[in-house]
Amino acid sequence: MLEQALTHRSIGNNNNERLEYLGDAILGFVIADIIYQQFPTASEGELTRLRATLVKGEKLAEISREIQLSNQIKLGTGELKSGGWRRDSILANTLEALIGAVYLDSGIERCREFILNLYKTHLDNVNPADIKKDAKTQLQEYLQSRTQSVPEYKVISETGSSHEPEFTVSCKIDLFDEAVIATGKSKRKAEQAVAKQVIIMLESRDE
């Protein structure tokens, strides 16, 4: 099972994709449970955001590097040549597959200990109140607390190719006469960028 967990799909059929699917679900549950117990007064929203930062690919790749997982991953020739063992996505997926394998081999309690070990330093220095809400949520809450209407976002244009699109989005709030404009690689990113800009403008106005 360990062998399978370390085998990338570029090798062939007997790869780690099913284990990765299972490990992802286990990790989501175990981390949700750990921080639920660790922060008894945190709100659902805080816990949800904290969990997201702990199980995202970037964090999993970081942990994979700490345990030097990359040396152990079995990759096909193409992935080997292109340095696949350095890629965040492959590192993160392999770690999830490893978690799935530990669970199938030893059950949920041992798997929980395994995850706790992996996350030790990452859970020590964490605080749900520190995890920032995304910019759109911040802006909406700022405006609602001042009984302003919600901001209006519009996609102004979508340029670039379908592989590398660029979205231009406007954000209009009642406090400003003109809409603010920003761009991003997706509609979501452009909206976050423009919301951030509006927040900065509101803050400099408040000072």
**136 is an interface residue for its own copies by CB under 8 A:** no
Q: Which of 3, 12, 36, 144 binds its own copies (CB under 8 A)?
A: 36
Stretch that binds its own copies, among 13-21, 61-69, 78-86, 125-133 (CB under 8 A): 13-21
Q: Which of 6, 26, 95, 143 binds its own copies (CB under 8 A)?
A: 26
Closest contact distance (angstroms) between CB of 49 and its own copies is 11
Q: Which of 2, 3, 33, 121 binds its own copies (CB under 8 A)?
A: 33
Which phi and psi angles does 39 have, rounded to 5°?
-125, 80
CA atoms within 13 A on the CB side of 132: 7
- Non-local (6+) Cβ contacts of 173 within 8 A are 139, 143, 148, 149, 151, 152, 198
Which phi and psi angles does 7 have, rounded to 5°?
-100, 115
**101 is an interface residue for its own copies by CB under 8 A:** no
CA distance 63 to 92: 8
**Sites for its own copies among residues 184-203 (CB under 8 A):** 187
Contact 85, 73 (CB under 8 A): yes
Polymer length of the chain: 207
Radius of gyration of the CA atoms of the chain, in A: 21
> E strands of 61-179, at which residues?
152-160, 165-172
Q: Which of 150, 174, 185, 203 binds its own copies (CB under 8 A)?
A: 150
Catalytic residue among 20, 24, 79, 191: 24
Positions in the binding site for its own copies (CB under 8 A):
17-18, 20-22, 24-26, 28-29, 31-33, 36, 42-44, 47-48, 51, 108, 150-155, 158, 161-162, 187
Residues identified as active-site: 24, 96
